[in-house]
Structure 1
Amino acid sequence: MLTILYRGPLASCDYDCPYCPFAKRRDTREQLRADRAALERFCAWAADQDEDLSILFTPWGEGLVRSWYRRALVDLSRLPRVRRVAIQTNLSCRTGWLADADRDTVALWCTYHPGQTPRDRFLTKTAELTTLGVRFSVGVVGLPEHLEAARRLRAELPDSVYLWVNAAEGHEYIDADAADWTEIDPLFEFSRHPHRTRGSACRTGDSVVSVDGAGTVRRCHFVPEVLGNLHDGSFRHALRPRPCPLDVCDCHIGYVHAEQLPLYDVFAGGVLERIPTEPVWLPLPTASTSH
């Protein structure tokens, strides 16, 4: 199976989080048309494949407020060779359209942004997902000012819903602070420190690739080397196991694919949507895998 992380040119968002460079950014009509055309071309490519695919949309902006992303998730979820299609979202969109999707295939990676939406409204959306039978995870950015909101969210979410915490970029966590976040997310230690990855085996570039709106294929979002193009098939000859060329990997959508970490077991069946295997957690990484 080939796992694809797709990121088109969309860079607009309806939220204005102070820690995000794309807050309240507006795409022009021309940029939106280009993003729509690129996504539709990608979906047409996926529909023409004779191998199993697993697809995660990782837009810089918010995709689900755009009709073409909602339609893409529905259409892709109904393709026989698509095993999972998921998207990262702030869940500001309506949810009823998911009734048309294959609920065994579609999934959402939802981020709660305190200060951008009332907690009750966000919880109502998650309850709608549960009623629809849609798989989803929920998460927050681990900023100190988000701690109490995250605790309240954890208390009000069903126990069956995983609440993940992303370490805030550039933020150092003393042990006491990390313990607070670990009470919310038992897997926080994986995010707390960047992982030393240079020379280590990684699934990216072999069974996992990154694709942009032009169809340019790279091993992941964080390594600029081009492997080829999706639409002419030139990327396929470059697929092979290869070590990571970066000193560290500090983003979940990157290090989840690192073979030195047990995350494919932790998230078995839910790697793209970040849903751990129930009911147990695996041991946290040792000092040799992160710093």
Structure 2
Amino acid sequence: MLTILYRGPLASCDYDCPYCPFAKRRDTPDQLRADRAALERFVAWVKDQRQSISVLFTPWGEGLVRSWYRRALVDLSHMPHVERVAIQTNLSHRTDWTSEADLDHLALWCTYHPDQVPYKRFLTKCRDLTTLGVRYSVGIVGLDEHLESAHRLRKDLPPDVYLWVNAAEGHTYTDAEAARWTEIDPHFSYSRTPHPSQGLPCRTGETVISVDGEGTVRRCHFVPTVLGNLYDGSYRESLRPRPCPLGTCDCHIGYVHLESLPLYDVFAGGLLERIPHAWPR
């Protein structure tokens, strides 16, 4: 199976979180049209494939406020060779569109931003997903000012919904601080510190690839070396086992693929949507 991390040119977001590492812009109508065309081209390519494929959308901005991302997820979920299609989202969009999807193959990776959305509004969206039967995880950034909200969310979410915690970028956690977050997310230790990766085997570049709006293929979002292009098929000859060239990997969508970590077992069956295999505990 080939796992694809797709990130098109979309960069506009309806939130402006100060801790977000992504540079945001206001997409012009022309930029939005270009993003839509790029996404539709990608979906058409997936439709024509015969091998098993899983797709995780990791947009710079918020995709699900755009109709073409909702349509892409619905269409991909119904393709028999697509094992899973998921997207990272702030859940600010309406949720009823999911009723059109094949829920055996659709999943959402949702992030709660306490300073961007009223708590009750976000929780209502989560409960809507539960009622609709959508598979989803919820996460929060591990900042001190978010701890109370995280505990509240863990209490109010259904127990079968995994609440993950991302270590704040550049933040160092004492053992006592880490323990507080581990009470909420038992797998927080994987996010707490960057993982040494240089020279270690990684599935990216072999069974996992990153694709941008032009179809340019790289092994992952964090290694700029180009492996070829999706649409002319030139990437295929570059797929092979290879070690990571970077010193460390500190993002879940990167280090989850390191063979030195047990995360393919930890998240078996829920790798793209970040749901542990043995959940709820």
Letter in 1 for 2:100: D
Residue aligning to 1:252: 252
Residue aligning to 2:98: 98
Q: CA RMSD in A?
A: 1.1
CA 1:124/1:23 → structure 2, altered by over 3 Å: closer, same or farther? farther
Letter in 2 for 1:108: L
Output one character per residue of 1:259-280: Cα deviation in whole Å (capped at 9) or x when no partner.
0000000000000000101247
Contact preservation (8 Å) 1:140, 1:164: yes
TM-score (norm. length: structure 1): 0.95
Q: How many residues align?
A: 281
Contact preservation (8 Å) 1:15, 1:24: no
Output one character per residue of 1:41-63: Cα deviation in whole Å (capped at 9) or x when no partner.
00000000010000000000000
CA 1:102/1:20 → structure 2, altered by over 3 Å: closer, same or farther? same
Output one character per residue of 1:23-74: Cα deviation in whole Å (capped at 9) or x when no partner.
7731111110110000000000000001000000000000000000000000
Asked whether 1:194 is paired with 2:194, we answer yes
Partner Cα distance (1:280, 1:260) in 2: 25
Matches within 5 A, 1:57-206: 57-206=57-206
Q: Which 5+ residue runs of structure 1 have no aligned equivalent?
A: 282-291
Partner Cα distance (2:230, 2:57) in 1: 16
Residue aligning to 1:213: 213
Quote how far apart the aligned CAs of 1:117 are.
0.7
Residue aligning to 1:25: 25
More divergent stretch after superposition (105-114 vs 141-150) = 141-150
Contact preservation (8 Å) 1:54, 1:85: yes
SS at match of 1:204: coil
Q: Which 5+ residue runs of structure 2 have no aligned equivalent?
A: none
Quote how far apart the aligned CAs of 1:21 are.
5.1
Partner Cα distance (1:263, 1:60) in 2: 24
Partner Cα distance (1:268, 1:54) in 2: 14
SS at match of 1:184: coil
Contact preservation (8 Å) 1:201, 1:243: yes
Quote how far apart the aligned CAs of 1:22 are.
4.9
SS at match of 1:147: helix
SS at match of 1:173: coil
Identical-pair percentage: 75
Partner Cα distance (1:21, 1:12) in 2: 14
Contact preservation (8 Å) 2:24, 2:61: no
Output one character per residue of 1:96-117: Cα deviation in whole Å (capped at 9) or x when no partner.
0000000000000000000111
Matches within 5 A, 1:259-274: 259-274=259-274
SS at match of 2:127: helix
